Amino acid sequence: MVIDHIPVSALIRDEIQSALERRSLPHAVLFAGQDGGAQLPLALFAAKSLLCNKPIEGLACGVCSACMKVDKSIHPDLSLSFPVPASRETAENAIEEWREMMDSRSFLGLADWYEKLEAGDLKMNISAKEIHRIEKNIRYKSFEGVGKVLLIWLPEFLGGEGNKLLKSIEEPPPGTHIFLVTNEVNKILPTIISRCRVIRIPRPGPSALSSWLTGVKGFRETEAVNAVAVSEGNVNVALRQLEGENQLQIDRDFITWSRIAFSGDPAGVLDFIDEFLKAGDRESARNLFRFGLFYFNQVLLKKINVQQEGLRDELSASAGKMASFLSVSAIEQICESFEKYLVQIDRNASVKVLLTYATVQLGRDLRVALKRSRENARA
């Protein structure tokens, strides 16, 4: 992966690229972003550039043996550390699972890692024994003579043991860089944060993520829009949706659902829900509500004359029709309802009961808003 293919802002990309070109990247960098975001691929790209045998203007060439080894997590000068269950003791005992995971999913989420290790409800951590292992590794001389990189994924799992790393972070061996990659920077010891250059990586906006999914990953526009809507900007979730066995058709399901809800026909509502749940499950209902929240937020943008992000023409036209009769307060009320539905889904509410209630409520809100709009037009 080249730096232009990582979904981060131009400002962050230029900062990293410039530092690598000048060989002025700080020796300790904390990459912070959301779970499943771009911080891990960005840190790995920086590591690959530092270890590359034939860098091009400071950036990884991507084809030399060193770059290949970093991609496969087998470079002898790249030390990797990450949380594991107590039974594994150190990351070294889970390195094969890490390599398999990274081979298929570079935008790694914590849930993916739990699933890969079949950890279930087991507690994960980065133990004192693991810290001793990685400190010993970074003290060795560089095998290939270019430098060394220590990458710690999810340092928030260090807990109080992180204090043992302070000296290494502050004064690593010459030619050694330490990268910390976090999902929750607020859980890292302040003493560690203060010794690092912190690079915060916000989630990409809907338009930027949709463009990345189509331009870099090659997905169709419709699929990308749907994935963006249900992922809430999470790169890992968007990719999981698109790489699943079933194509995402949530936009069509949502449009059909909203029309049936508006009609208020009880038989039509029940038929839709029965048919929808035959082909889906709790996750399908969650995606429907997520898409609804995304859609009505776009309706709100349309209403207040702000440029919409990530909607293809058909959905943009639909949002325009909704905006023509929905007031700002009505849109906000619908969005609040969808947020409550998502909470209830996560609390294991009955999907059929919740979907039935949501359909009736959405239909009522839309009909009331249309009636008020017509009354105001006549007044």
Longest dimension (CA), the chain: 82
| Residue 309 confidence (pLDDT) | 58
- Return phi, psi of residue 48, to 5°: -65, -40
What is the C-alpha to C-alpha distance for residues 335 and 341, in angstroms, rounded to an integer?
Answer: 10
What is the C-alpha to C-alpha distance for residues 125 and 158, in angstroms, rounded to an integer?
Answer: 6
Give 138's Cβ-side CA count (13 Å radius). Answer: 27
Instruction: Spell out the residues 6+ positions from residue 190 whose beta carbon is closer than 8 angstroms to its own.
Output: none
- DSSP class of 186: G
How do the pLDDT tens digits run along the chain, 379 residues long? 678 889 898 899 999 999 999 999 999 999 999 888 899 999 999 999 999 999 999 999 989 999 999 999 999 999 999 999 989 989 999 999 999 888 877 788 888 888 888 887 788 899 899 999 998 888 888 888 788 999 999 999 987 778 888 988 888 889 999 999 999 898 898 999 999 999 999 988 888 888 888 888 888 887 888 888 778 778 888 888 787 644 457 778 888 899 999 988 888 888 888 888 876 677 788 888 888 888 898 888 888 877 655 566 777 788 888 999 999 999 999 999 999 998 888 787 888 899 999 999 999 999 999 999 888 887 6
Three-state DSSP class for 177? strand
What is the C-alpha to C-alpha distance for residues 114 and 281, in angstroms, rounded to an integer?
Answer: 22
Locus of tokens 């400190």: 135
| Residue 246 confidence (pLDDT) | 45
DSSP 219-275: --HHHHHHHHHHHTT-HHHHHHHHTSSSPP-HHHHHHHHHHHHHHT-HHHHHHHHHH
What is the C-alpha to C-alpha distance for residues 21 and 153, in angstroms, rounded to an integer?
Answer: 24
H or E element at residue 180: strand 176-182
Residue 150 bridge partners (DSSP): 79, 178
Three-state DSSP class for 59? strand
Count the residues in the chain: 379
Q: Cβ of 117: how many Cβ atoms within 10 Å? A: 19
- Return phi, psi of residue 323, to 5°: -65, -25
Model pTM score = 0.76
- C-beta of residue 127 within 8 angstroms of C-beta of residue 135: no
| Residue 244 confidence (pLDDT) | 64
- C-beta of residue 139 within 8 angstroms of C-beta of residue 131: no
Give the tokens for residue 214. Answer: 């189509």
Residue 78 bridge partners (DSSP): 149
